[in-house]
Structure 1
Amino acid sequence: MALVHRIRCGNAQVVWRQFGQGLPLVLLHGGHGSWMHWIRNIEALSSEHAVWVPDMPGFGESGALGGEPHAADRLERMVGALAAGIKSLLGPAAGFGLAGFSFGGLVAAHLAASLPNVERLALLGCAGHGGPRRQAAEMANWRGDDRGQMLAALRHNLGALMLHDERTIDALAVDLHERMCKATRFHSKALSRRPLLAKALSRFSGPTLLLWGEHDVTAQPVEVAQQFAGEASHRDWCLVPGAGHWVQYERPQEVNTLLLRWFSRP
């Protein structure tokens, strides 16, 4: 059962969910997402951590970020709203772990660069790398009045972008994807495609895990992982076999084990 917190950050009300007890761990969802991007991970992670999961501004149940939707500073305003929420909920000096998925990984990297108390960072299928993608199938337009066509388009898009194994495109995945897409008001695509990750990571010296699914179509995972991990002793990377972009949904047991191990390290 989650405790729900509604935090006012400027003009936006941000909804946070809290699960479990222990060392704090903040999870950030991806674009066209919500806290439910972590639906198959929260139970395992909250067995050892106090897990804090927001709907970022402009997503899910949270209010819009405010300001011009395509303004150049919208990423900075997003990071500022989340930083204010973390300080309010955890306290200004409390150390915590931070994980982000896709666009949420890009946000997490910038958040880690701006706060002094992020102890460990994990980025899953992270956006903002600026490298080539390998998506072969075009996305389908899911907006329309015919519900059957909408669901078919959402299922197609899950296979084109998010999930590799067709068997994992189950009723739950389609239902979650529908709800999250319908509730998305923040424009993240352009930010995700820009090379914004490197600068943020250069400003964070804490332990950083870069994790991709083997078949993630939003990147060339091995090339990008090696590029960003490089020779840096505080960075590590991992490839999850058989998984696509939404790696923590498609291979939850493997990802949960990796994250529990990563965030339990001294």
Structure 2
Amino acid sequence: MHPTLDALEASARRSETPFGAGRIVWHEWGAGPPLVLLHGGAGSWRHWARNIPFLARGRRVLAADTPGLGDSGPPPAGASLWDIADALAEGIRLQAGGVPADLVGFSFGAVISAHVAAHVATGDVPAGRGGLLDSVTLVGCGALGLKREPTPLVPVRDRQGAERVAAHRANLASLMLADPASIDDLALAIQAWNSDHARLRSRGVVSDTAVRDVLPRIDRPLNVIYGERDAIAYPHMEDRIRLFAELRPAARLRIIPGAGHWVAFEAAEAFNATLAALLPLEAAPER
């Protein structure tokens, strides 16, 4: 694996919440108001490896492996995006113990987060979920029905050894990281582990307009973060800015210079500072 990931996993508190006959696995660090992290497609909590230590200084960080990814079990046969969002909403309720959480989702996790927030906002939810969220932050968000450039990916699972590593490196460069120098041993270790454990194809449950369709229904404060060179948005970032201004004019949108799609990893220090400016990252002092 990698020493950074080994240390993070060893320091985590692991728990599970149900989804059908299976489970959603959570890793938890720190103490304070709950901050929920949902990773990207073909990912796991490891997508947040460079953010968790910072965030856990003043928050109870709850990082889920979404169904069919990481350590979590597969979703029930035929499960929809709404079913996955509902299971995550229930998981947040159980984990947070009735304390409203700030929800941060990256890529596929942003799509799920938008649906969790929209589902809660409808009022069509079980009792006890009305105060589930304080805010929603969408990171590297797609599914907006906007133009994006192709991001060709190299098949990995039929390759071994150096060829497999080269394929992971090529895919990180194509989709995830803007600067090839950012593809270090930690990035490769995360990519390899995540790829080996991915069983759900997120594109199978996400439509091209999945987030755009639910944005008007979200009633929580909304934040949006992109890397300036995000492969799913560049060079069409202005289209995203205009769309959020039209559909959610109160949303706070931040662009982190030079960073790619996996902005929380590639520009971790800037991302952490941006999130700290958007969210309260330290518990309020007791009176």
Counterparts of 1:213 and 1:243, CA distance in 2: 4
Paired amino acid for 1:228: F
Matches within 5 A, 1:105-144: 105-115=110-120, 116-117=130-131, 118-135=133-150, 138-144=152-158
Q: CA deviation at 1:162?
A: 0.4
Q: Of 160, 171, 191, which residue of structure 2 is paired with 1:177?
A: 191
Q: CA deviation at 1:130?
A: 1.6
Q: Of 9, 13, 17, which residue of structure 1 is paired with 2:19?
A: 9
Paired amino acid for 1:8: P
Contact residue 154 and residue 178 of structure 1 kept, 8 A: yes
Counterparts of 2:148 and 2:205, CA distance in 1: 15
Match of 1:205 in 2: 219
Q: Deviations over 1:177-236 (max 9, x none)?
A: 011011111120244451011222211122111111111111222321221233745311
Identical amino acids, percent of aligned pairs:
33
TM-score w.r.t. length of structure 1: 0.92
Q: CA deviation at 1:9?
A: 2.5
Matched, 1:103 2:139: no
Counterparts of 1:223 and 1:50, CA distance in 2: 35
Counterparts of 1:210 and 1:6, CA distance in 2: 28
TM-score w.r.t. length of structure 2: 0.86
Match of 1:238 in 2: 254
Change (3 A) 1:233 1:218: closer
Q: Deviations over 1:20-79 (max 9, x none)?
A: 1111110000001000000000111111211100101100011111213xxxx5201111
Counterparts of 1:224 and 1:202, CA distance in 2: 15
Which range moves more in the overlay, 25-34 or 199-208? 199-208
Q: CA deviation at 1:103?
A: 0.7
Change (3 A) 1:170 1:237: same
Q: Deviations over 1:77-120 (max 9, x none)?
A: 111111121121112x4211000000100100110112233111
Counterparts of 1:262 and 1:126, CA distance in 2: 17
Counterparts of 1:45 and 1:226, CA distance in 2: 30
- Secondary structure of the corresponding residue to residue 54 of structure 1: strand
Contact residue 198 and residue 228 of structure 1 kept, 8 A: no
Which range moves more in the overlay, 219-228 or 161-170? 219-228
Counterparts of 2:62 and 2:231, CA distance in 1: 28
Q: Of 138, 142, 149, which residue of structure 1 is paired with 2:163?
A: 149
Match of 1:224 in 2: 240
Q: CA RMSD in A?
A: 1.7
Match of 1:37 in 2: 47
- Secondary structure of the corresponding residue to residue 137 of structure 2: strand
Change (3 A) 1:173 1:193: farther
Counterparts of 2:248 and 2:66, CA distance in 1: 30
Unpaired segments of 5 or more residues in structure 1? none
